[in-house]
Amino acid sequence: MTQALALEPSPDTITWRRVSRRLVVIEELQVLASTVVVVAANLAALLFIDNRLPLFVAAVAIAIGLVSAVLVARSVRTWRYAERDDDLLVRHGLFLRRLSIVPYARMQFVDVTAGPLERLFGLATVTMHTAAAASDARIPGLPSVEAARLRDRLSSLGDARSEGL
């Protein structure tokens, strides 16, 4: 049971790290962008269609956008990761909560990806791939320096502890 407590609410035994707060901005911008596209398309449609339906759709889109803006902000803040001696812990989720424990020994390769928006904010996503697709550990919103450090550490640990399958 002590170990359970060690994993769930993150006390002294594990030092959970958070991802950058700038990730919230990126995610919010993505929500904003998709809302704007839908609203703009519907307003444009208003020019050709002679009823109020597009207005209604646009209103719904704005409402959804607002709700998801709130949820995204909260959801992004739930990303946590921790490097233990033998495994990487990643935890995330607002409604669907996930905790992954991936041993370094199982690592096949590490990916560092950064989309245009992420690059603008100096962030990157680190993904540790294993032989099972379900157990790939993905950590978004890491500052580039931290991402590079994590990649190097993961690959050195992975090499040192590699065991094949």
Partner 1 sequence: MSIGEAVTSTSTAEAPDREITATAVEPRQRLHPVTPLLRGLHMLAIVIAVFSWQGYQELGPARWALGALAVLVAALTVAAVSWLTTGYQIHGRELRISEGLLWRRTRAIPLERLQAVDVVRPLLARLTGMAELRLEVIGAFRAEAPLAYLSLPVATRLREHLLSLAGGLDGLTPGQRPVERPVHSVRNGRVLLAQLLTPHTWFVPVGLVVALLPYQRQEVWNLVAVGSMLTAMVGVVQVPIRRIVDDWHFHILEDSAGLRLYHGLLSTRSQTVPRQRIQAVGVTWPLMWRPLGWLQVRMDVAGYGAHDRQAGMNAGVLLPVADRETAHPVLAEVLGAHLLAPPLTPAPTRARWLAPLRYRLLAVGHDRDLVYARDGWLIQRLVITPLARAQSVRVVQGPIQRLLRVADVHVDTAGRLHVVGEHRDVDEAYALAATLASAARAARAREMGAHHRSTSAPTTNTSPT
Residues that bind partner 1 (CB under 8 A): 1, 3-4, 6-8, 86-87, 93, 95-103, 105-106, 130-132, 134-135, 137, 162-165
CB of 5 to partner 1, least distance (A): 8
Distances (CA, A) of 147 to 14, 133, 137, 141, 156: 20, 21, 13, 9, 14
41/131 with CB nearer partner 1 = 131
61/92 with CB nearer partner 1 = 92
32/99 with CB nearer partner 1 = 99
Residue 102 CA to residue 152 CA, distance in Å, equals: 16
137/157 with CB nearer partner 1 = 137
CB 28 within 8 A of CB 72: yes
Strand ranges across the sheet with 17-18: 17-18, 80-83, 87-92
CB of 21 to partner 1, least distance (A): 25
